[in-house]
A and B are shown apart, each in its own frame.
Chain A
């Protein structure tokens, strides 16, 4: 009969072994993650899919926007404007209404997103150098699309007219474009989207990963063994959070990398600053997810809590709507959300080149949020089965 006990009791290392035990949990979590194909796929697929969807749907220049052109005069110049519009990819002239009422109706029904009106006596006014106005009405419910199409329009028109021999060559535009953005006068600029996505994707995936970690152990029955071992709640927590910091880091690099290569988003600031503050943000979200995990009774509840937390992060952080446009109470709520601070950080570093000193308020805020979450998690963690 073989003996189960080692013939010689194995030597135990001296000391409390804080890092050693944390390391043990970390290794275990990593192996489990590696084996969980769905989670592993999620790490790569969520950033990719989200970025492609958001990026290509919103971020690139819109093409073939259905457009109505109302010609109030039948001049050569008006016709060459129409031809120029037809020759661009931006607009697709689908309607040639005859009255302004018709134009309004087309816009309201969504048949066209743009309406361009060449006023009467346009050609004569241009030749006289009177700078007549071309009226443009845009359906700005999708502000990004409207914004970029508008900026394209002025170029299209100028090019069209400069080819016309009868128009005096002049460095200034011989006419004026008077735009009227309907339905949503506030616009969000393109470059905000990719940095914003870094924050939202990290929030979502990080929350979910740790939110499930403690409840999973309880549901699978492994918690009883774990609690019977000489390990403290802090060691368990750090060991469970640490692997996902690396995961989050990979995700952030992936998103920023794609943003730079595919969408041409610049990174003006220091990459080191961006990496350091991103790590802080990742750790903050992981701590919050872990806190949910210690409060929730099962994995479903943990998931629901994460979603409930995720929603205000999306709505009140300045990702979807400009932060300064929100009512005061909503701004207070927003200040308590990690994404709010991270959006400021990531946008400032990537687009404006801000330094850590510029961003100290948001960095400290993230740090405080992380400490609060960790403290709650450690005190909430039940060391017994009572």
Chain B
């Protein structure tokens, strides 16, 4: 499938290759100087807080927005001039359900099959309904489906034309944990078939299911790599303080917050994560508290969430 399409630049394993993308709305940069490469067959997680520019970046990749600066290719096609070709090979699942709510499941899928020029649209739609497990619901109006089924239909709709790249914008927002898990199993199955998937999310557990992740905040791509690489690159030292029933932790949290050497204090149930960018400074800062009664201190790997919260704090210092 890959031979006849695009990717003439010798790096046929790089599906997304963009450099220095900047997008401004009313003079305000929503994405700035963003460069990224995504290899074929990977699940690339796109993380970041709300309004960080994830959706804008995805829209630039599939030709829905034109970058103000920067350039690059998607599936080997120029993202400025060859958007028609990109659209033919990309499945884009929008953040908000954007199929026709007054059309039935079958009618929506047939519409898409016709637009993409699939030889037998009715048969293709029927096959997709089978694959999606939507059998028996094909005549149901899309707007009346539950959230989980809607999401499944949307995913089925953007995979129906057999695209080479899937762009999924917060596909699991508002979906229950079981449906989320199934969804991620599907994504992995798709990637195993050679499909490249770029997926944006808020959820840390989802980030950990990606092959590679990128963290974006205030329009800037702050870090990327595998989960381990990202944690490694953070140079964060973390101690987990636990207490029975969490007693005394809020007091400790108040005391530690703002101390030199302590960059982040975050409560997790009956424990507290205390992190610092310099191990020495952190150890010095916490030394007086380690003897306190009822608290158990343990040095640990920072979690992805620790790393992201730290990155976000850093980014805010730099950009605001």
Contacts and interface: CB of A to CB of B under 8 A. Distances in A.
Interface of A: 1-6, 9-13, 15, 17, 20-21, 23-24, 27-28, 31-32, 35-36, 220-225, 227-231, 384-386
A31 B107 contact: yes
B97 A3 contact: no
Q: How large is the interface on B (under 10, 10 to 19, 20 to 34, 35 or more residues)?
A: 35 or more
Given A11-B118, A35-B103, A230-B116, 8 more contacts: A5-B190, A6-B162, A10-B119, A11-B119, A13-B119, A24-B114, A224-B96, A230-B84
Nearest to B101: A220
Contact of A10 (B92, B98, B124, B133): B124
Most buried by B among A2, A5, A13, A220: A5
B133 A229 contact: no
A35 B96 contact: no
A95 B273 CA distance: 100
B202 interface: no
B103 A28 contact: yes
B65 A221 contact: no
Name A's interface SS. loop
A242 B110 CA distance: 19
| The 5 nearest A-B residue pairs measured at CB | A24-B114, A225-B98, A9-B162, A11-B119, A228-B92
Given A3-B189, A28-B103, A32-B103, A224 B64 contact: yes
A23 B114 contact: yes
Interface stretch (B39-47, B153-161, B246-254): B153-161
Interface in B220-246: none
Contacts of A221: 94, 96-98
A10 B90 contact: no
A11 B92 CA distance: 20
Given A35-B102, A221-B96, A385-B65, A1 B189 contact: yes
Contacts of B195: 5
A5 B193 contact: yes
Contacts of A12: 116-119, 161
Contact of B155 (A4, A17, A224, A229): A4
Nearest to A9: B162
A227 B159 CA distance: 17
A6 B118 CA distance: 12
A1 B182 CA distance: 9
Interface of B: 1, 59, 62-66, 84, 87-88, 90, 92, 94, 96-103, 107, 110-120, 124, 127-128, 131-133, 141, 155-156, 159-162, 185-186, 189-190, 193, 195
Contacts of B110: 27
A220 B142 CA distance: 13
Nearest to A227: B64
Tell me which of A11, A12, A17, A23 has the highest count of chain B C-beta atoms within 10 A of its own C-beta.
Answer: A12
Contacts of B101: 220
Contacts of A220: 100-101
B102 A36 contact: yes
A384 B65 contact: yes
Nearest to A11: B119
Nearest to B132: A4
A2 B152 CA distance: 12
B111 A28 contact: yes
Contacts of A36: 102
B62 A228 contact: yes
Contact of A9 (B1, B64, B112, B190): B1
Nearest to A220: B101
Contacts of B99: 222, 225
A4 B107 contact: no
Contact of A20 (B97, B114, B127): B114
Contact of A28 (B100, B131, B155): B100
Nearest to B159: A4
B88 A230 contact: yes
Given A11-B118, A12-B116, A221-B98, A1 B92 contact: no
Contacts of A1: 185-186, 189
B114 A4 contact: no
A220 B96 CA distance: 10
A222 B92 CA distance: 12
Contact of B116 (A4, A28, A35, A229): A229
B193 A3 contact: yes
B98 A222 contact: yes
A1 B66 CA distance: 38
B60 to A, nearest CB: 10
A162 B107 CA distance: 74
5 contacts: A23-B114, A31-B107, A36-B102, A224-B96, A384-B63
B119 A4 contact: no
Among B62, B98, B112: residue with most chain A CB under 10 A: B98
